[in-house]
Structures are given as C-alpha cells and as structure tokens.
Amino acid sequence: MAEGESRIVWTLNLERRYPYGDISPDPERLEPVGFPPPWPDRPWTYANFIASRNGVVAWKRRGPHDDPVRAVAGGDPKRPGRRADVQLMRYLRAHAEAVAVGAQTLRDQPELVGTLSQAGSDLGARLERFRLEHGLPRVPRQVIYTRSGALDIDARMFNIPGVEVVVVTTGHGARHLRGLGCEAKGVRLLVAGEDTLGARELRHAHELLFRDLGVRYLDCEGGETILEALRAADLVDEIFVTTSDVVIDPSQHEEVKRLDPTPGARLIGEGRVAADPGYVFRRWRLHER
C-alpha cells in the first residue's frame, strides 16, 4: 500500500492554530492538526476513540482475544481506514506531554504503552524526531487513573527504560502501590484525594499535572469509564471520533458501551480516506478557547 492511501483528508477543519507549526512531520501520511493554547491552570485535554457505525465502542471482554477495538475496526489492520486511524492516534500522542488511560484499560491490555512506534512503518521515528525538535521528550509520559491502586506493576508500561509513568490515585491507592514497590520502578504517584476520584479530585489531579509536571496537552485514550468520569468533571475539551462501517450486534456481547460525543459539542473537523470512505473521522469541540 502506498503511504498516501491511508492519509486523512480533512474537508472540514475549523482549528487553524498550530502550536508546533502548520506542516506535519510526515505530509504524505498526515495533514497538520492544530490545537488552542492550554488553560491557565490545567491541560487542554482531548480524547480519541473508535466506534462502530451503530455507536458501539466496547463491551465486557470474554477473554484476551475478545478485543472490542479490533472488532469495531473491522479486524483488518491493513485496511486503509484502519491504518489512517492508527496513524492519527500516534499523531495525537505526539502532540501531548502525557497520554492517559484508565486502570481497566491497562488490565485488559497489559502490553499497552502509549508510545509512537507503528509496526512496519517509520512513522514512529518521524514523530519522535518531531517531538525532540519542539522540545518535548522522545515519548509522552504515561498517566494511569486508579482509585484503588489495583495495578499489575509487571505490566509492560512499568518496565520500559525511558518511559515515565504517573499514577493518579487516592491516598489508599498510593499506600497499596507503595507496598507493591512501584516507586522503586520510578513510578510517580500523584495523590488527588484520600478515598475517591470524583470530579473535584480529578480536577485537582489535572491542575497538578499542569503545575508540577508541565503537562499542557493531555491525550486520553480511554477506556469509556475514565472518559465518562472526565467528561462528568468537565475536563474533556474535545473528542476525536473514528467511525467505522462495521455494525456490532449488541445481543452478542455483555455490558455493551456506547459513547456519544455530540451533546453540547460543536463539529470542528471531518475527514475521510479516499481509498476507504467507509471510515469517517470527526472532531468534536466541547469547550471553546
């Protein structure tokens, strides 16, 4: 497949502020993506996820091979639309000082690390160079939200040299994680509250990420539980949604999840891949800046 066959052409693009310049690090594969400046006291926070044509984003997994994302994406990683989705995800990571996920996402995907590399492609190297040229670390910090601290510190994320991990948790969760020896692995614990991670605690955590760690742009990759919690706390500023042409039968799965980005949101971006028009890429702005 030629590189340009998986390029998203944004026919609607209402965000023309480019903090890292208006030329993308790989013009053949990526159009530039712009962002407003961060807030005075917290990061500009954007999320991204993929949904089926009928709005399904996840369900309770029956096992390690029951992957909702793969199913929603159509199961073919070589499909131009899916390649474009992965490239966009990597590019969004490249703009952020930190990439965030919830604890359940890490439990479901213990090999997950929000880095920039892409199998069989030099895109990761180009994105790392892009970051270094703009004064950012080679890879983003990894942020995990967990109230209880129930994490497997043998997961890959905690054991890669050069990857900094920050855990947003409670006092109870921090004590549990210290008992597991996470600080010996270089993990930074950010205690946002004593017993819970409600809206006030999450806002405090984002203020600490901004003030103490210099996180100006935060990329939240889910799952749906933490994304809903951040939205309830009014901390999600915009959402990038990839919609595939796959229809998921909810009756075949348990605890099916849907996420609707549109309430209170303004559509500021829409694009497609010419070689695979069944995929649609949209950008929904929740807060104006």
Question: How confident is the model at residue 121, as a pLDDT?
Answer: 84
- Give mean pLDDT, residues 76-80: 92
Strand order from edge to edge, sheet including 165-170: 9-13, 266-272, 280-285, 238-243, 44-51, 217-220, 98-102, 141-145, 165-170, 188-193
Percentage of residues of the chain with pLDDT beyond 90: 87
Q: Work out the mean pLDDT of the chain and round it to a whole number.
A: 94
Taking only the tens place, the pLDDT of each residue in 174-204 is: 999 999 999 999 999 999 999 999 999 999 9
Torsion-angle region of 66 (φ positive above 0: left; ψ -120 to 50: alpha; else: beta): beta
Distances (CA, A) of 213 to 71, 141, 145, 157, 208: 36, 10, 16, 19, 7
Identify the CA nearest to 91 among candidates 116, 110, 72: 116
pLDDT band at 4 (very low <50, low <70, confident <90, very high): low
**Domains with residue ranges and CATH for the chain:** 3-285 (3.40.430.10)
Question: How confident is the model at residue 263, as a pLDDT?
Answer: 86
- Give mean pLDDT, residues 222-246: 95
Q: Is the pLDDT of residue 1 over 70?
A: no
pTM: 0.94
Q: Is the pLDDT of residue 21 over 90?
A: yes
- Give mean pLDDT, residues 250-259: 92
